[in-house]
Amino acid sequence: MSCESDVAAVSLTDLRFYIHEVRLLAADGGETAVKLQPGPLWQSEDVALLDFESGAGSCQNGTQQVNTLVRGHAGAGNYTGLRFRVGVPEHLNHADPLLADAPLAYSFMHWHWRTGYKFLRAGVATADDGFWLHLGSSRCEGTATDVKGCRSANRPEIELPSFVPDKHVVVIDLRDLVDGIDLENGIPSDCSSGPAEVECEQPFSALGIDFDSGTRDGIASVFRVGTRE
Amino acid sequence: MTRPQILVGCAVAAIAVVSFTAFLFVDRSYDWALPDGVPLPSVPPDNPMSDAKVALGKRLFYDRRLSVNGAMSCANCHAQALAFTDGLPRSVGATGEMHPRGSMTLVNAAYSARLTWANHLLDTLEVQALTPVFGEQPIEMGMSGRESEMVALLSSDDYYSAAFPKAFPADRDAYSILNVVRATASFVRSIVSFDSPYDRYLRGDEDALQAGPIRGMELFFSERLECFHCHGGFNFTDSSTHADTLVQSVGFHNNGLYNIGGSGLYPPDNTGLYDLTGERRDMGRFKAPSLRNIAVTAPYMHDGSIVSLSGVIEHYERGGRLLPDGPYAGDGSRSPYRSEFVKGFDLTGQEKADLISFLESLTDESVLKDPRFADPFSH
Please write the tens of the pLDDT for every residue from B200-222: 999 999 999 999 999 999 999 99
Buried b / exposed e over B5-20, threshold 16 CB at 10 Å, is eeeeeeeebebeeeeb
Q: Looking at residue B13, what is its pLDDT?
A: 29
Q: Which is higher by pLDDT, B243 or B379? A: B243
Asked if A113 has any chain B CB less than 8 Å from its own CB, the reply is yes
Domain contains B315? yes
Nearest of B196, B253, B264 to residue B228 by alpha carbon: B253
If we measure between CA atoms, which residue out of B251, B200, B112, B195 comes closest to residue B363? B195
Confidence of residue A172 (pLDDT cuts 50, 70, 90): very high
CB spacing of B145 vs A195 below 8 angstroms: no
Q: At which of B192, B222, B249 does a domain end?
A: B192
Count of structural domains, chain B: 2
The answer as to whether B181 is a domain residue is yes
B160 & B254 share domain = no
Domain that holds residue B44: 26-192
The pLDDT assigned to B19 comes to 33
Task: Examine the domain organization and report whether B170 and B137 are in the same domain.
Answer: yes
Residue A4 pLDDT grade (very low, low, confident, very high; cuts 50, 70, 90): confident
Q: Nearest chain B Cα to A33, which residue?
A: B4
> Using one digit for the tens of pLDDT, what is the confidence trace for A192-219?
999 889 899 999 999 999 999 999 988 9
Find the helix packing angle between B51-61 and B177-190, rounded to 10°.
Answer: 100
CB distance from A140 to chain B under 8 Å?
A: yes
Rounded CA gap, B187 and B61, in Å? 8
Q: How many residues does chain A have?
A: 229
- Using a 10 angstrom Cβ sphere, with 0-12 exposed, 13-18 middle and 19 or more buried, the burial of residue A154 is buried
Residue B96 has pLDDT above 80, yes or no: yes
B50 touches A at CB < 8 Å: no
Residue type, A10: V
- Asked if omega into B336 is within 30° of 0 (cis), the reply is no
Å between B72 CA and nearest CA of chain A:
18
pTM of the model: 0.90
CB-CB under 8 Å, A114 with B121: yes
B234: burial class by Cβ within 10 Å (0-12, 13-18, 19+)? middle
Q: Are residues B281 and B235 in the same domain?
A: yes
Residue A168 touches chain B, beta carbons under 8 Å: yes
Residues B156 and B201 in one domain: no
- Tell me what the mean pLDDT of segment B295-315 comes to: 98
Going by C-alpha positions, the residue among A164, A159, A166 that lies closest to residue A222 is: A159
* Cβ-based contacts of A38 with chain B (< 8 Å): 10-13
Backbone angles phi, psi at B231, to 5 degrees: -105, 40
Out of B172, B192, B212, a domain closes at B192
Residues of B in contact with A74 (CB under 8 A): 4
Look at A52 and B1; give whichever has higher pLDDT: A52
Helical residues (DSSP H) of chain B, grouped into ranges:
51-61, 74-77, 125-128, 130-134, 147-156, 158-167, 177-190, 197-202, 211-220, 227-231, 274-277, 309-318, 349-360, 365-369
B202 located within any domain: yes
Which pLDDT does position B11 carry in this prediction?
A: 29
Q: Which amino acid is at A40?
A: P
**Do B109 and B229 lie in a common domain?**
no
The reply to whether B13 falls in a domain is: no
Which residues on neighbouring strands pair with residue A224, listed in sequence order? Answer: A171
**Confidence at B27, pLDDT banded by 50, 70, 90:** low
Inter-chain residue contact B121 with A192, CB threshold 8 Å:
no
Give the CATH number of the domain where residue B350 resides: 1.10.760.10
- Is A39 in Cβ contact with B13 (below 8 Å)? yes
Contact of A51 with A65, CB cutoff 8 Å: yes
* A203 φ, ψ (degrees, to nearest 5): -60, -35
Report the alpha-carbon distance of residue B40 to residue B242 in Å, rounded.
6
3-state secondary structure of B127: helix
Is the residue at B307 inside a domain?
A: yes
The verdict on B170 and B304 lying in the same domain is no
Q: How far apart are CA B355 and CA B50, in angstroms?
A: 39
Domain boundaries, chain A: 11-227
User: Which of B161, B192, B223 is the last residue before a domain boundary?
Assistant: B192
Q: How far apart are CA A103 and CA A109, in angstroms?
A: 9
Q: Which residues of B touch A211 (CB under 8 A)?
A: none
Whether B43 is in a domain gets the answer yes
Q: In terms of domains, do B220 and B360 share one?
A: yes
For residues B226 and B344, membership in a common domain is answered with yes
Nearest Cα to Cα of residue B43 among B53, B35, B312: B53
**Position with higher pLDDT, A196 vs A23:** A23
Mean pLDDT over B244-264 rounds to 92
Report the amino acid identity of residue B93: G
Checking if the pLDDT of B147 tops 50, the result is yes
Q: Identify the pLDDT of residue B28.
A: 65
ipTM: 0.87
Asked if B15 lies within 8 A of A170 by C-beta distance, the reply is no
**pLDDT mean over B268-295:** 96
CA distance B97 to B79: 19
| pLDDT over threshold 70, residue B18 | no
Question: Do the Cβ atoms of B127 and A144 come within 8 Å?
Answer: yes
Residue B18 lies in a domain: no
Look at residues B35, B61, B37, B368 and name the one whose alpha carbon lies nearest to residue B186: B61
Type of residue found at A162: S
B165 by Cβ neighbours in 10 Å (0-12 / 13-18 / 19+) ranks as middle
Q: Hey, is the C-beta of A98 within 8 angstroms of any chain B C-beta?
A: yes
Whether residue B248 sits in one domain with residue B172: no
Chain A touched by B8 (CB under 8 Å): no
